[in-house]
Amino acid sequence: MLLRRIVNATGVVLHTGAGRAPFGPAVVDRLRELLEGYTNLEVDLDSGERGQRNALIAGPLRELTGAEEALVVNNNAGAVLLALRALGEGRPAAASRGQLVEIGGAFRLPNVMAAGGVELRPVGTVNVTRLADFRRALDDGASLIVLAHRSNFYFRGRYEEPRPEEVVELAASYGRPVLYDLGSGLLRTSLYPDLVSAEEPSVENLLDAGVDVVCFSGDKLLGGPQAGIVVGKAAAVGKMRGDSLYRALRVGKETYALLAAVLECYLGEEEALAAVPVYRLLKRSEAELDALAGEVATYFTGAGVAGLEVATERATSYVGGGTLPYVQLPTAAVALRHARLSPHALSAALRRLTPPVLARATGEAVLVDVRSVLEEDLPALRQAAAALAAEVGAGD
């Protein structure tokens, strides 16, 4: 099976199976400019001497986040692993039982901690962890406190945990660092004021709280390439860069080029941010979604597929990628129902088209959710709809 361009009509903006964050034309044009020839990946253009590739991206990340230092590795799991090795120094690390998460692929934080050479000291209970629990762990010799975003689930009902700034103050009194695995890549809550609560952890508020190192993904809410981004205090990030594992986890010029192009959008004005598809898709208004669903519906009604019923409906989708699981996105979808084919059979027919269309099959219909359909993919979606008659006929 070869990697192919598909139309993501699931409504899930950060669909892991569909490659998470897509890149807009402006970013792709910048990538082409950088990769069609040679680059100054490890050349200091002022001195002519060999330079450090991380310096190319550390500056924009410092400017964007206000961190003292920054570092990029292959993915967020790699960033957390490197931080545990460098900051934990093989000694015990304390983490709340309520934050010992498992993300996709049975990838568990306790396993990452073991791979990082630190002994896990779980504190508190699943739903209640207090500052006193961390204090006892520090008294017992914990050299590091690990905080983690719960990523793909959230608590409803009674739960309690100390604020990051409280944990930082406690750890500092013992001379111990605090690592936060953010994962989601939310730079600041003000980017999505109507989407996330003010209490949602972000890179901005965690650094303001004094967290030594924040690790997050490049291909989630940031809308960039797969990468593990590390920001924080210079001494802590410097330890990570000096660890021998860093070389094994570092990224190539393609990732640097993509990440630099995306960060340039964030450093620009609001108009520049619209060039980041994830940002644009999550900010779509209900009026825009309704208009888009109406247009896409005409593609399928015009295709003349025998036995196909086409309607537009209001629906709900999610951000995806293990990010903001409590956020339900109001959306609009084109509901497809076929006289003979079940929703699952119809969705399979859509995946066999050229280009393949990935949609949501429910118990009653196939929903072509326009929340995640890129403007650039509309001609391809029209082409796919036109081809549906032949595909359905061939499958009868």
pLDDT tens figures, 161-177: 999 999 999 999 999 99
Average pLDDT over residues 257-269: 92
Place of tokens 């399979």: 348
pLDDT of residue 112: 84
pLDDT of residue 147: 95
Residue of higher predicted confidence among 326 and 144? 144
pLDDT in tens, 120-140: 999 999 889 999 999 999 999
pLDDT in tens, 26-73: 899 988 988 899 988 889 888 888 988 888 899 999 999 999 999 999
pLDDT of residue 191: 92
Please determine, for residue 105, whether its predicted confidence score (pLDDT) is greater than 70: no
**Prior bond of 355 cis (ω within 30°):** yes
pLDDT of residue 104: 63
pLDDT of residue 319: 93
Q: Which two tokens stand for residue 253?
A: 């010029």
Phi, psi of 134 (to 5 degrees): -70, -35
Residue of higher predicted confidence among 373 and 320? 373
Domains and CATH numbers, the chain: 7-11+280-395 (3.90.1150.110), 25-273 (3.40.640.10)
> Are 94 and 125 within 8 A, CB to CB?
no
Query: Which of these, 215, 79, 220, lies nearest to 152 by C-alpha position?
Result: 220
In angstroms, the CA 254 to CA 22 distance is: 15
pLDDT of residue 395: 44
Average pLDDT over residues 186-201: 90
Average pLDDT over residues 385-395: 79
pLDDT of residue 136: 96
Which residues, 6+ apart, have CB-to-CB distance to 380 below 8 Å?
5, 7, 355
pLDDT of residue 277: 96
pLDDT of residue 396: 42
Query: Which of these, 231, 328, 327, 218, lies nearest to 278 by C-alpha position?
Result: 218
In angstroms, the CA 388 to CA 359 distance is: 14
> Are 67 and 207 within 8 A, CB to CB?
yes
pLDDT of residue 101: 80
Query: Which of these, 83, 73, 65, 16, lies nearest to 256 by C-alpha position?
Result: 73
The least confident of 90-94, 101-105, 239-243, 387-391 is 101-105
Average pLDDT, the chain: 92
Residue of higher predicted confidence among 214 and 392? 214
Residue of higher predicted confidence among 112 and 285? 285
pLDDT in tens, 319-338: 988 888 888 999 999 999 99
Please determine, for residue 393, whether its predicted confidence score (pLDDT) is greater than 80: no
Sheet holding 69-73, edge to edge: 69-73, 228-232, 213-217, 178-183, 144-148, 93-96, 120-123
Average pLDDT over residues 309-314: 96
What is the percentage of the chain residues whose pLDDT exceeds 90?
A: 73
